[in-house]
Amino acid sequence: MTDVFTKRKRSEIMSRVRSRGNRATELRLRRLFREHGIKGWRRTSTVFGSPDFVFPKVKLAVFVDGCFWHGCRLHRSMPASNRTFWKKKLARNRFRDRLVNRTLRARGWKVVRIWQHELLGNASSAVERVFRAVKSR
């Protein structure tokens, strides 16, 4: 089906669409933290890179990365249309992830990244990584 809007108008409309974050996966991880007695985290902070969870006392930043948006090797897929745009967009996302990791580590933070698919089934390995990181600091 062809678009009823011009390219410019469609771009204007889409530029106004704002993300709500990866809310379902974040809520799942929050529930897992509570179930496993992991305490000391915050959801909102001014830490560089906007981590999904921050443990300020131990300087731990936890990111929940969506498989599509962050290029998961197991589940990544490329949209059939506008491939050039999407390749650039997803490459920029991965580059930004590496930049955030380096910057936070240089500032004395430990970074844990959890893939979206890790929270769908048995999430024990993801929770264990966070637990070990909290305890090691």
Q: For the chain, what percent of residues have pLDDT higher than 90?
A: 46
Is the backbone of residue 21 left (phi > 0), alpha (psi -120 to 50) or beta?
A: left
Is 4 part of a structural domain of the chain? Answer: no
3-state secondary structure of 15: helix
Is 2 part of a structural domain of the chain? Answer: no
Tell me what pLDDT residue 22 has: 63
Look up the CATH number of the domain holding residue 89: 3.40.960.10
Task: State the average pLDDT for the chain.
Answer: 88
Is 113 part of a structural domain of the chain? Answer: yes
Is 6 part of a structural domain of the chain? Answer: no
Q: Per-residue confidence at 94, pLDDT binned at 50, 70, 90?
A: very high
Is 129 part of a structural domain of the chain? Answer: yes
Tell me what pLDDT residue 101 has: 98
Is 29 part of a structural domain of the chain? Answer: yes
What is the rounded (10 degree) CA torsion for 68, 128, 135, 137? -30
pLDDT (tens digit per residue) in 41-59? 998 888 999 999 999 999 9
Residue 109 CB: number of other CB atoms within 10 A? 22
Q: Say whether pLDDT at 60 is over 90.
A: yes
Residues in the chain: 137
Is 8 part of a structural domain of the chain? Answer: no
Is 34 part of a structural domain of the chain? Answer: yes
**Residue 118 structural domain:** 20-136
Number of domains in the chain: 1
pLDDT (tens digit per residue) in 17-27? 776 656 788 88
